[in-house]
Every structure is written in structure tokens, then in C-alpha cells.
Amino acid sequence: MLYIAFLAYDKHVSDIPPSQAGSYEDQASKTTAIAYEILAKLVSEAGESIDEPENTEIKETLEKHVQELVRANGGELHNIAAATGGMVAQEVIKVITKQYIPVDNTCIFDGIQSRSSVLRL
């Protein structure tokens, strides 16, 4: 759902310049409509219908994700910013104190599943 919300937000931002974006409610409703269109296309490709009663929860979750993205207004979401900031601070402390071994090469953080992995490229 979050990926669909990001796709809808990206489409909305690319279609409407920030100077003409309007109020928060307008942006949220337009972005939600785009997200529903994307979701309907995906569901129709699967041979299902989005109007089924089980899908009400899916639509509500999608709407919540869209509202959070519009509220953040293109900035980093607060939980992702806090997690990555803490990781960077920890690595700086390791380098300064020379007490522990810092991350070797590349660290990738997956904010959706809250996982990180270190890769040597």
C-alpha cells in the first residue's frame, strides 16, 4: 500500500506545480483519487474487483498512507529520519572513539520493513 501511495504522490506532484497545489485537504483528496486509480488498475489486472467488502480496509489503509505523505509534503518521514540519523550518529561515535569497528563500505536501510544490511561493494 505504501508503494502505491508513493506512486500516487509522485504523479500528483509531477502533474501539479507546488504553487498551484492548494490546501492540504485538496492535495490529499486528489492524491487519494490517483492512488485509488492505481489500485483499481492493479486489482483489475489480477482479475478481481476493488469494490468487494474485504477491500474496504485496503482503501482505508491506502488513504492513511496518502494523507501522511501529503502531510510530510515531500520531506522525509519522521520515523525514517530518526532511524537513519541515529545510525549515522552511532557510526560517527565509532570513528571518533576508535572503540568499535564502523560499517564497512555500504549500509542500506529499508524503512518499510525497518531492516538494515551492510554490503561490501
Summarised one tens digit per residue, pLDDT across range 71-117 is 877 676 677 888 889 999 999 999 999 998 888 888 888 877 778 88
Summarised one tens digit per residue, pLDDT across range 6-48 is 889 888 888 876 667 678 788 888 889 999 899 888 888 888 7
pLDDT at 96: 95
Q: Is 70 exceeded by the pLDDT of residue 120?
A: yes
CA dihedral sign, ordered 65, 51, 12, 18: negative
CA distances from 113 to 2, 9, 14, 70, 92 (A): 11, 20, 27, 21, 24
- Whether this model's pTM surpasses 0.85: no
The residues, ordered by sequence, that sit 6+ positions from 100 with a Cβ below 8 Å of its Cβ are 94
Q: Is 80 exceeded by the pLDDT of residue 50?
A: no
